[in-house]
Amino acid sequence: MRILPQLFAAALLLGAIPALADDYTLGKLEIGQPWARATPPGASTGGGFLTITNEGDTPDRLVSAASPIADRVEIHEMTVTDDVMKMRPVPDGVEIPAGETVELKPGALHVMFLDLIGPIEQGKPVPVTLDFEKAGSIDVEMTVAPPGSPGPEHAQGHEHGSSHGYEHEHEGGH
């Protein structure tokens, strides 16, 4: 956690909670703000999101991900065809072109947790191992935001508890 406690307290007072997710570096890759959505009770799947910036001059590729919280982890792409949302695994992974940033975010590319072993809960970061074709693998922790959150700004850190309320969303997947 790189945010000073004082700064965090100030942000709480102002009602503006900054994104608390950490950033990571792996070779020429910058992994930005990994976060996951808390799952509603009984859910068997969940979604994780992050940005990957390639500061090198050769492309790399996110080929797979793994986590102890799920039996299977896949990298999915969500598309809308004739108003129907579909998602499917990207078999060759996600290319990270040289000098570019690729965003895994709700409604688009995402890390998909399948056959969850336990719920994804606020205040409990999700450990995920990301495997890249060239850069190798890195362990990151995804901070957890409430169900249905559009972005990581609602994610909560490790030890700050969960105090603000949220509405449960009933959704089929994520």
Alpha-carbon distance of 50 to 25, in angstroms, equals 13
Name the residue number minimizing CB distance to Cu ion.
Answer: 76
User: Binding residue for Cu ion (CB under 5 A) from 50, 69, 70, 87?
Assistant: 87
Nearest to 133 by CA among 62, 65, 76: 62
CB of 18 vs Cu ion, minimal distance in Å: 27
3-state class (DSSP) for residue 16: coil
- What number of CA atoms fall less than 13 Å from residue 163's CA on the CB side? 7
Cα dihedral 62/40/71/102 (nearest 10): 0
Q: How far is the CB of 163 from Cu ion (least distance, A)?
A: 30
Q: Would you count residue 76 as binding Cu ion (CB under 5 A)?
A: yes
- Our finding on whether 112 is near Cu ion (CB under 5 A) is yes
Span from 7-15, 73-81, 144-152, 159-167 in contact with Cu ion (CB under 5 A): 73-81
Judged by the rule CB under 5 A, the positions of this chain that interact with Cu ion are: 76, 87, 112
